[in-house]
Amino acid sequence: MELHKHIFLVGFMGCGKSTVAKLLSESYNVRHIDTDAEIVNEQKMSIADIFERYGEEHFRKLETNLLLRLKEEAPAVIACGGGMAVRDANIDIMKSCGTVIMLTATPETIYKRVRHQTDRPILNGHMNVEYISDLMDKRTPYYNRASDVKVTTDNTSPEEIVQKIVEII
């Protein structure tokens, strides 16, 4: 199977974007890119350190700059940080060069997946279902606007999710 434009995976933290991107990229024999990992590599700093030293806005600018660079590169499967689709400018860039797929999961599923992790500044100090649910409600309109396709991940293996996506595209 040949990929003619990028596939962007968007959605809330812990919905499985990175895991699915890796597997999906194998189906198309293309690179998989994780925007968080890419930024950490470029900046030589953890996401938590970037937030702490320079603030969230700075991180968001780094995300937009990265998208602008990726737009010029060969088609790849790109796992986006959970806030990527929350800026209209980013939605425009993604739509201009790729298919955007939204992965979803319930707040309870997300909580179960991320509760022991400490590397997400947005959730540190707010690790509970209510906070996740509130933030998800705020972000869902953006994710909906950004995405061409929506795929649920609750009680579904990464392999099954990849199969669903390949069938749709």
**Does 47 help bind ligand S3P (rule: CB under 6 A)?**
yes
**Which member of 16, 81, 98, 107 binds ligand S3P (CB under 6 A)?**
81
Nearest to 9 by CA among 144, 83, 99: 99
Number of residues that bind ligand S3P (CB under 6 A): 10
Q: Which is nearer to ligand S3P, 27 or 46 (CB)?
A: 46
x/- mask, ligand S3P, residues 4-33, rule CB under 6 A, reads ---------x---x----------------
Closest contact distance (angstroms) between CB of 135 and ligand S3P is 8
Q: Which is nearer to ligand S3P, 4 or 52 (CB)?
A: 52
- Amino acid of residue 13: M
Q: Where in 109-148 is the site for ligand S3P (CB under 6 A)?
A: 120-122
Burial class (CB in 10 A: 0-12, 13-18, 19+), 22: middle
Strand stretches in the chain, DSSP E = 6-10, 32-34, 77-79, 98-104, 149-152
**Which member of 6, 21, 82, 162 binds ligand S3P (CB under 6 A)?**
82
Burial class (CB in 10 A: 0-12, 13-18, 19+), 29: exposed
Closest contact distance (angstroms) between CB of 155 and ligand S3P is 20
**Does 83 help bind ligand S3P (rule: CB under 6 A)?**
yes
**Alpha carbons 27 and 130: distance in angstroms, whole number:** 36
Q: How many CA atoms lie within 13 A of 89 on its CB side?
A: 9
> Collapsing DSSP states into helix, strand and coil, what is residue 13?
coil
Closest contact distance (angstroms) between CB of 83 and ligand S3P is 3
Q: Where along the sequence are the contacts to ligand S3P (CB under 6 A)?
A: 13, 17, 36, 47, 81-83, 120-122
